[in-house]
């Protein structure tokens, strides 16, 4: 499971503890945040088993 957000309120971080086991967390200080490089995507997926392969293909095509 992946949970990605440019903004993550503390309340949501608490909720994630209930359904994620040992998550990797990357937090950035507010003064270090910029809009440079932030992109949002919505990709409708018809079948659950296609999600991971779709994510892999998306990352193959991104320049980070």
Tens of pLDDT along 22-58? Answer: 888 787 787 777 777 677 778 899 999 999 999 899 8
Q: Hey, where are the domains in the chain? A: 10-60
pLDDT, tens digit (0-9, with 9 covering 90-100), for 13-30? 888 888 888 888 787 787
Using alpha carbons only, give the angle 44, 38, 41 rounded to the nearest 5 degrees.
5
12 pLDDT above the threshold of 90: no
pTM score, two decimals?
0.38
- Please name the residue ranges forming H helices in the chain: 10-19, 51-60
Q: In this structure, what token pair is assigned to residue 18?
A: 């209930």
Check pLDDT > 80 for residue 6.
Answer: no
pLDDT at 56: 92
Quick check: 41 and 58 in contact, CB under 8 A? yes
């Amino acid at each position: 499971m992946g949970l990605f957000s440019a903004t993550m309120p503390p309340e949501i971080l608490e909720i994630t503890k209930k359904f994620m086991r040992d998550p990797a967390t990357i937090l950035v200080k507010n003064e270090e945040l910029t809009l440079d490089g932030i992109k949002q995507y919505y990709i409708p997926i018809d079948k659950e088993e296609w999600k991971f392969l779709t994510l892999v293909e998306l990352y193959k095509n991104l320049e980070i």
